[in-house]
Each structure stands twice: as C-alpha cells, then as structure tokens.
Amino acid sequence: MPTEPPVILLLSGSLRAASSNESALRTAESVAASAGVRTIRYTGLADLPHFNPDDDHDPLPGPVVELRTAIAEAAAVLICAPEYAGTLPGSFKNLLDWTVGGTEICDKPVAWVNVAPAGRGGGAEATLRTVLSYTGAAIVEPACVRIALSQGMAGPDGVVADEDVRSGLRRVLERLAEAA
C-alpha cells in the first residue's frame, strides 16, 4: 500500500492582497508534489476574533475551531509572515495567541521562511522563535531559511517561476517532511 504524503499546513501572516509572503506559500503549494508532500493553505486569518482568554473555552468560536483542527490534522506547519514595526503583524500574533490554549501545536514540527530583503525581517523571526517556543512547537531549524522575494517576481496567480526560489521552497518542504 502506498503511504499518504504528509500534510503541511501553510500559514501566511499577511492580509495584503498582493502579499509576498502569500506568494511564497502559493509557490510552495505549486512545488509540494515534487517535494513528496501535500499542502493546505490556511485562509482564515481575517476571520479570527481578537484573542480573549474569556472566550478560550468550549464552545470555541468557529474560526478558532477551524484553526486548531487544521493544525491538529497537519503533520507540520510552514509560516511566512512579514515584519511590522519590528515584530509580527498584530493579526498574526493574534493567531498564535489562539494556539496557546490548545495543545495542537505542541511538539508539531514548525518552520518559517523570511522573504524580506537581506537585513530585514529579523524582528519578525525573533518574535516567531519566542512565541513558538512558548507554545511548545518543535522548531525545525534547517527548514527556517531566508528566501528573498522581490516585487514583480510573482505571476498574476501569486506563484513565483524563479527556479532558485522554487528549489529553495522545495527543500524547506522536504526538511519539514523529514521532521514530521
């Protein structure tokens, strides 16, 4: 019996329509089969309510159930998030806050790709490391890399054709799959 490819959940930290972080994840999606994985792109970031510990109990808000279920069902998680004002965008930190009260992300292999130009985005990476360590996620260091995406690299579908970018993302997925 052939084994099912591991599922990698793709989380974008940007709500921007022409987001470079979203482009990186769409490109990862387009190389997933060649990396031997299946990807699911999470699209519920804008629907999550503001985190409030008073609401972090059953019955949970629907979008939170969707998020936690998506994490639970994935073998690994790949994050691409921009840096705003030296750290993560508030909306993405809000998503991570919603993972703290659940156990789904505990011991889950997680990596991030920094798509910012050289020398940028380090604050977002530092925050990801702090928050993910706090949640108990298993950070897959060899899969946490920089793959700079410049403006205009993505086609109208958000997918990048550049072979260096594609092979870099393929390697990230392979390393996450190995850790899964």
Whichever of 19 and 99 has its CB closer to ligand FMN, that residue is: 19
The only residue of 10, 19, 39, 98 in contact with ligand FMN, by rule CB under 6 A: 19
Under the criterion CB under 6 A, does residue 14 sit at the interface with ligand FMN?
yes
Q: Which stretch binds ligand FMN (CB under 6 A): 99-107, 113-121, 126-134, 166-174?
A: 113-121
Dihedral of the alpha carbons of 125, 128, 134, 136, in degrees to the nearest 10: -100
What span, in angstroms and rounded, lies between the C-alpha atoms of 1 and 157? 35
Give the burial class of 149: count Cβ atoms within 10 A of its Cβ; 0-12 exposed, 13-18 middle, 19 or more buried. Answer: buried
* Residue of the chain from 49, 62, 86, 142 that contacts ligand FMN (CB under 6 A): 86
83 binds ligand FMN (CB under 6 A): yes
Q: List the structure tokens of 1.
A: 């019996």
- Of 14, 4, 38, the closest CA to residue 115 belongs to 14
Residue of the chain from 102, 121, 158, 168 that contacts ligand FMN (CB under 6 A): 121
User: What residues line the site for ligand FMN (CB under 6 A)?
Assistant: 14, 16, 19-21, 82-86, 116, 120-121, 123
